[in-house]
A and B are shown apart, each in its own frame.
Chain A
C-alpha cells in the first residue's frame, strides 16, 4: 500500500502566506525572490496579453455557471430557457422563500455548521497531538506506526459504509447528527500533514530546552509545539471543514430527510416530480454563500494550503 503514496512532497513553503502579519517578500513584489517571478516563456520579460487573456477565459468559464445560477435563481423558470442570460432578475427573494418552504433550510444549515465544526476541532486536535508525537518524540514503535498511518491514507474508508451503517443502527444513532460526526473524528491524512509540518518547524533544541527548564511533556506540547503548529492547524482545519461540509454519501445514508445536512437538503429540492429550476438553483446559490464567505475570509490560507502540494480534501 505504501507504494501508492508518491514520494511525500515536503511540507515546505508552508510559511509563505500563512502569517499575514509577517512582512515578507511575495512573488513578483521584487526583493530577493524577484528572479523566481520571472516567467518561463519570455525569460526576463513580463507576461503578455495572451497569457492574461487565456487565464481570464479559463476563469470566466469557471465563474459563468455560478453566475448563471444566480441569474436563473433570480428569474423565473422561463429564464433558464434563454440563451446565455447575463443579467439577474428580481425574483431572488421570492425564490429563496420557496426554498425555505420546501426544505428545512435553517435546520440543515445549523446541522452542517455543528457537524463540520465538531469534526474540524476533533481532527485538528488529535492530528496535532499525534503529529507532534510522531515528529518530535521518541518512542518504541514510532516508525512502524507512522508507516501504518501513511498506508491507511490511501485506503478509501468510505467503502466501509455498510458495517458503519449497521453499527449506527444498532446504537440507534441513525437520523442523528452524531452518526455523521463520529466516523470522521480522525483522519490519517491529518496526522501525516501535521507530522510533516512539525518535523521541520520545531527545532529539537527547543524541546530539550523546555525539558531542562522543568516543563513536563504536556506543558512542552502546549508551550512549544502548539504555537509553532498554529499555521498548519489553520490549514488542516480549513480543509477538514470543507471536507465535512461537502460530504454527501454518508449523510444521505444515515440521516433522514427531516433532519438533513445542507447538502442532503439541497438534493431534496431536485427530487420532486415537477422541478422548478429557478427555485432549485436559488437553493444551490444559498448553499454556496457560506463557503463563499469562508473563501473571502480565508482564501489565501486555502491557496497556500493547496500549494503545499500534499493536500487533497
Chain B
C-alpha cells in the first residue's frame, strides 16, 4: 500500500479540484489519509515490538524467576515468594559483592571525573591541531574491555608485572595487587579509568566550549584568576553535562563485570579473586546463575542490583545538583539563551 503514489495534481485545474473535494473521497484519497495516519505507527512499531520482546519481557520475567526455586538444568521449581530475596539479603557474599562494587565504583569514578575535568580544561585552551589532541586522548577507548583487562592483569602481576617493576625503581617493594582487597580494587579501577577518562574528557570539553567566552573575559577584567574562573564559571556552566556524565558513570560503574571477571583468572578461576576480594555484584549474579545453577537467587540479585542502580542514580542526581551550584533558574535560562545566540551566530 505504501508504494502507491498519488498522481501529481498539476494536470487538474483549480475548479476541478474544488468539485472533487465536495464528492465522497476516492479510493486513492482514502488510501492517502490512511497513509498519513498509520505510517507513524509502522515506523515506531519495530522498535517497540522488539524492545518489548528482548528488553522489557526479560526484565519483568526476572521478577517471576526470582520468586521461584529455579535451577539452571532442572528448570522451574515451586513458588517461594520473597524467600530468594531473604536468602540473598542474608548472604554475606552478596554484601561482600555490593561493598566491592561500590568501592571499585568510587575508586574509578572520582579520580576519573577529576582527571577528565582537568584534561577537558587543557583541551579547551585553543590548542594547535585540536583534532590530533582529541584523537590521542581518545585512543584508549578503542581498546576493548577484555583486552584492557588482559593487559592490566599482566601489568599488575605480583611477581614481575610492569607496575611492581616501576614501583621498584622508586624503592617501593612489590605489592599484592591481586590478593589484597583494596589494592585489587585500585587495579580494577585503573582499568576502567584507562578506558573512559579521555572519553569523558571529550564530553566535558564539548560543554566547556559552549560557555560564552565573554563571561571569562569580564571575570578576568574583574580580577578573577584562572582557578577562580574555573570553579566559578566553568563548573557551574557545564553542570547539566557534569550530571549526565556522573549518572552514566554510575549506571555503568555499578554493572562492572568484564574487568573483575578477567583479573587474575589463572589462580582465582574468574569469580573475582581467591577470597572473592574483588567479586562485583554482576559477577556474583553470574556465578550464582551459571556456577551454582541457582537462577532463582540470581534473578533476585538482578532485581536488587536494579534497585541499587536506580537509587544511586537518584542520589547522585540530587548531590550533583547541589554541589555544582549554578545559580537559580532564571539565571540558567538566560545563560541558555545566550548560548543559543552564540551558537546561532557562529553557525
**Same complex origin of A and B:** yes
Seen from chain A, the residues whose Cβ lies within 8 Å of a Cβ on chain B are: 1, 3-7, 9, 12-13, 15, 17, 26-28, 32-33, 35-41, 43, 46-47, 51-52, 54-55, 58-59, 62-63, 65-66, 68-69, 72, 80-84, 126-127, 129-130, 132-134, 137-139, 142, 145, 149, 152, 154-167, 182-186, 188, 191, 213-219, 221, 242, 245-246, 248-249, 252-253, 262-264, 266-267, 269-273, 275, 277, 280-281, 283-284, 287-288, 291-292, 294-295, 299-300, 302-303, 306-312
Q: Are B121 and A6 in contact (CB under 8 A)?
A: no
Known A-B contacts A9-B241, A162-B65, A270-B262; A134 and B44 likewise in contact (beta carbons under 8 Å): yes
Give 22 pairs: A residue, B residue, CB < 8 Å, sorted on A.
Answer: A17-B131, A40-B234, A62-B197, A126-B46, A126-B50, A129-B43, A130-B44, A130-B48, A133-B44, A157-B59, A163-B58, A216-B4, A245-B144, A246-B145, A248-B258, A263-B144, A266-B144, A269-B150, A270-B262, A303-B134, A303-B138, A306-B203
> In this complex, what residue of A is CB-closest to B159?
A81
Q: Are A129 and B44 in contact (CB under 8 A)?
A: yes
Shortest CB distance B295–A (Å): 6
Q: Are B265 and A9 in contact (CB under 8 A)?
A: no
Of the residues A158, A159, A216, contact of B2 by C-beta under 8 Å: A216
Interface string of B51-94 (1 = CB under 8 A from A): 10011111101101100000000000000000000000000000
Known A-B contacts A28-B130, A33-B346; A249 and B257 likewise in contact (beta carbons under 8 Å): yes
State which residues 284-317 of B face A: CB under 8 Å.
286, 289-290, 295, 298-299, 302-303, 305-306, 309-310, 313-314, 317
Q: Are B55 and A157 in contact (CB under 8 A)?
A: yes
Number of B interface residues, CB 8 Å? Answer: 130
Of the residues A1, A6, A269, contact of B240 by C-beta under 8 Å: A6
16 further A-B contacts with Cβ under 8 Å, apart from A4-B317, A130-B43, are A1-B310, A4-B314, A43-B216, A52-B127, A55-B122, A59-B136, A80-B162, A160-B59, A160-B302, A163-B65, A166-B65, A183-B54, A271-B266, A291-B143, A295-B138, A299-B138
Q: Which residues does chain A contribute within 8 Å of B169, judged by CB atoms?
A: 83-84
Q: CA separation between A91 and B305, bound complex, in Å?
A: 45
> In this complex, what residue of A is CB-closest to B166?
A84
Which 10 pairs show the lowest CB-CB distances between chains A and B?
A160-B58, A39-B125, A217-B39, A307-B206, A139-B40, A133-B43, A81-B160, A163-B61, A47-B125, A37-B126
Shortest CB distance B225–A (Å): 10
Q: Are B142 and A291 in contact (CB under 8 A)?
A: yes
Known A-B contacts A28-B128, A157-B55, A218-B2; A162 and B289 likewise in contact (beta carbons under 8 Å): yes
Q: Are A137 and B39 in contact (CB under 8 A)?
A: yes
Q: CA separation between A6 and B59, bound complex, in Å?
A: 23
> In this complex, what residue of B is CB-closest to A285?
B147
Q: Which residues does chain A contribute within 8 Å of B165, judged by CB atoms?
A: 81-84
Q: Are A66 and B317 in contact (CB under 8 A)?
A: no
Of the residues B5, B44, B143, B216, contact of A219 by C-beta under 8 Å: B5
Q: Are B241 and A214 in contact (CB under 8 A)?
A: no
Shortest CB distance A81–B (Å): 4
Interface string of B195-215 (1 = CB under 8 A from A): 001110011011111100100
Q: Are B125 and A160 in contact (CB under 8 A)?
A: no
> In this complex, what residue of A is CB-closest to B346?
A33
Shortest CB distance B220–A (Å): 5
Shortest CB distance B321–A (Å): 9
Q: CA separation between A59 and B41, bound complex, in Å?
A: 48
> In this complex, what residue of B is CB-closest to A191?
B47
